[in-house]
Amino acid sequence: MGFAPAENRQRAHHHWEAYLILSCIGIIVSSGPVYDASRLVLHAGEPGIAGEGAWEPLSNHVVRPLLAGMAPGFVATAGGVAWWAHNLSVLVMLNFLPLAKHFHVITSLPNVFFRKLEPLGALSKQDLENATTFGTSHIDQFTWKQVLDMFSCTECGRCSSQCPATATGKPLAPRQLLLDLRDYLYAHQDEVIAKRVRQRADGDGAEPPEVGENIVGPVIADEVLWSCNVCRACEEACPVMIEYVDKIVDMRRHLVQEAARFPNELTRTFKGMETQSNPWGLGAEKRFDWAQGLGVPTIADKPNAEYLYYVGCAGAFDDRNKKTTQAFARLLEKAGVDFACLAKEELCNGETARRLGNEYLYQTMAQACIESFDTAGVKKVIVNCPHCFNTIKNEFPQFGGRYQVVHAAELVAQLIAQGRLQVPPGFGKKTVYHDSCYYGRFNEIYDEPRTVLARTGAQVQEMRRHKQFGMCCGAGGGRMWIEEDPDKRVNLLRTAQALETNPEVIAVSCPFCMTMLSDGIKAKELEDKVQTLDVMEIVAKVAT
């Protein structure tokens, strides 16, 4: 697979505007010392001029000696030319900046100042009862901050160079997406301004029609939007804090909720969530089958348990991930944690639906899930899935669900520190840890899984892309449920990156990462040499 060239291809991008602005900057920077040096030469010996020179070291020590031996007339001409060139360049630049891509020089600072202050992992809540539109399909429907983002791009390409979709040759390159939106906005700016003026004049009058055509499809292709892993790598890389995730999900919301256009395979996913409360569509009554024979307490048995262990759909229904769930439940019991499960009453929290743009389904499921927590009197929740963690911690508060949410590595680290769990360093295998996007970039949980792994005696290695620059496994943003071209699989690229460290074990802390990376190892026929294990499975192997 030709991943490397694709990964880099979006960085090189040149335009005549860039050369004009760079020329202006070059002239401004170089003409100043020439003008100052000419003054120092022509007025040498006059009172105060030596002191002035002390404040102009470049002019005084580099340019002045070059001009000192020249005829006074030439020096005066050089100084005059430098003065005009300097000031004209400043004027050209100031006039040109608001009209061209270098507008970012003005907008990037406010863009950083007005960055999102809500939790990074919380998508915006749509007001489904009062909304007249259900997603973003026209250029004037973007928020003022999203428009500020469009003007603030420096076109550096860092976003695209970190994007797993770009790296695997998919049609999405975040910088291009933003520039396409910005160019369309420039082309329709007069109409957008006229609409805003009309709205002000009309007050509460009828909503004027949207500006321009529907951009989703003609300007931003459906495939571009469906290629996104909603992983935030682009945002982390951006020097001016441009936000992509909300824009992409807003346009997906239009596709799903207004246009009913989405990959065919998602029909089954949405139906499974609606009817069986899990994206696989497996019988809801099987949700607690993983616990057979383990004696795991249920909320019905222990209504006053301190913690609810919320397993989530992958940990409850997927055969490989059920093993992780069982290992973690055994650890909880070994440490004497006072916990219980909702068992068959547990409901999906709807995370996948929200990232796929099906906000209506998400809100319905989230509210039902919160109701099930509240009915059971839940206050503290343990999870071993970063997607569930992010949704319950950061998004449930939008619907009144406020709980203390603890992730598995954090809890296990506490249990070890309290001496409730003995973890002798017996694992000893060369282990590379893959950061999940939703513990990592969205919630900045990097250290606890590594600390816990180190306690097991694992020889922890790092991939060249790790922590905030880690790469998605390919499952995020609901892409777990979307077919992927065999030549463009993100999981294969991520597996290849892990294999560069020659590991015996790839450690994960997410059930989706488990599926994607173990599939990657299978595809490379390395199952005999490299194991894919959840951090909690590794702890369970050595814990006493």
Residue ranges that bind ligand SF4, judged by CB under 6 A? 153-159, 162-165, 172, 174-175, 178, 228-234, 237-240, 242, 244-245
Least separation in angstroms between CB 280 and ligand SF4? 23
Nearer to ligand SF4 by Cβ, of 13 and 330: the residue is 13
Least separation in angstroms between CB 145 and ligand SF4? 14
Least separation in angstroms between CB 248 and ligand SF4? 6
> Tokens representing 246?
């909300």
Least separation in angstroms between CB 13 and ligand SF4? 9
DSSP letter for 376, please: T
Give the Cβ contact number of residue 93 at 10 Å: 19
Nearer to ligand SF4 by Cβ, of 5 and 209: the residue is 5
Least separation in angstroms between CB 444 and ligand SF4? 16
319-334 vs 535-542: helix crossing angle, rounded to 10:
50
Nearer to ligand SF4 by Cβ, of 75 and 153: the residue is 153
In sequence order, which residues have a C-beta less than 8 Å from that of residue 199 and are 6 or more positions away?
205, 207, 208
Nearer to ligand SF4 by Cβ, of 322 and 355: the residue is 355
Nearer to ligand SF4 by Cβ, of 172 and 421: the residue is 172
Least separation in angstroms between CB 490 and ligand SF4? 9
Nearer to ligand SF4 by Cβ, of 32 and 477: the residue is 477
Which of 168, 328, 321, 159 lies closest to 244 in space, CA to CA? Answer: 159
Nearer to ligand SF4 by Cβ, of 174 and 279: the residue is 174
Rounded CA-CA distance 62/209 in Å is: 62
Least separation in angstroms between CB 51 and ligand SF4? 43
> Tokens representing 339?
């916990």
At position 31, the amino acid (one-letter code) is: S
Least separation in angstroms between CB 330 and ligand SF4? 35
Nearer to ligand SF4 by Cβ, of 97 and 282: the residue is 97
| Diameter of the chain measured on Cα atoms | 99
Least separation in angstroms between CB 473 and ligand SF4? 12
Edge-first strand order for the sheet with 380-383 is 339-340, 307-310, 380-383, 404-407
Nearer to ligand SF4 by Cβ, of 153 and 392: the residue is 153
Least separation in angstroms between CB 174 and ligand SF4? 4
Rounded CA-CA distance 396/23 in Å is: 52
Least separation in angstroms between CB 230 and ligand SF4? 5
- Asked if 262 contacts 357 with a C-beta cutoff of 8 angstroms, the reply is yes
Q: E-strand spans in 311-468?
A: 339-340, 380-383, 404-407, 430-433, 459-461
Nearer to ligand SF4 by Cβ, of 159 and 291: the residue is 159
Q: Are strands 307-310 and 505-508 parallel, antiparallel or unpaired?
A: unpaired
At position 9, the amino acid (one-letter code) is: R
Nearer to ligand SF4 by Cβ, of 178 and 385: the residue is 178
Least separation in angstroms between CB 251 and ligand SF4? 12
Least separation in angstroms between CB 236 and ligand SF4? 8
> Tokens representing 443?
């919630």
DSSP H helical segments within 228-318, as ranges? 233-237, 245-253, 265-276, 313-317
Which neighbouring-strand residues pair with 220? Answer: 216
Rounded CA-CA distance 223/484 in Å is: 12
Nearer to ligand SF4 by Cβ, of 41 and 233: the residue is 233
Phi-psi region of 424 (alpha: psi -120 to 50; beta: other; left: phi over 0): beta
Rounded CA-CA distance 14/37 in Å is: 34
Query: Residue 309: helix, strand or coil by DSSP?
Result: strand
Phi-psi region of 433 (alpha: psi -120 to 50; beta: other; left: phi over 0): beta
Least separation in angstroms between CB 35 and ligand SF4? 34
Distance between the two ends of the chain, CA-based, in angstroms? 44
- How many Å separate Cα 3 from the centre of its chain? 21
Nearer to ligand SF4 by Cβ, of 215 and 240: the residue is 240
Nearer to ligand SF4 by Cβ, of 111 and 269: the residue is 111
- How many Å separate Cα 497 from the centre of its chain? 19
H/E run at residue 508 = strand 505-508
Rounded CA-CA distance 35/88 in Å is: 14
447-455 vs 408-417: helix crossing angle, rounded to 10:
50
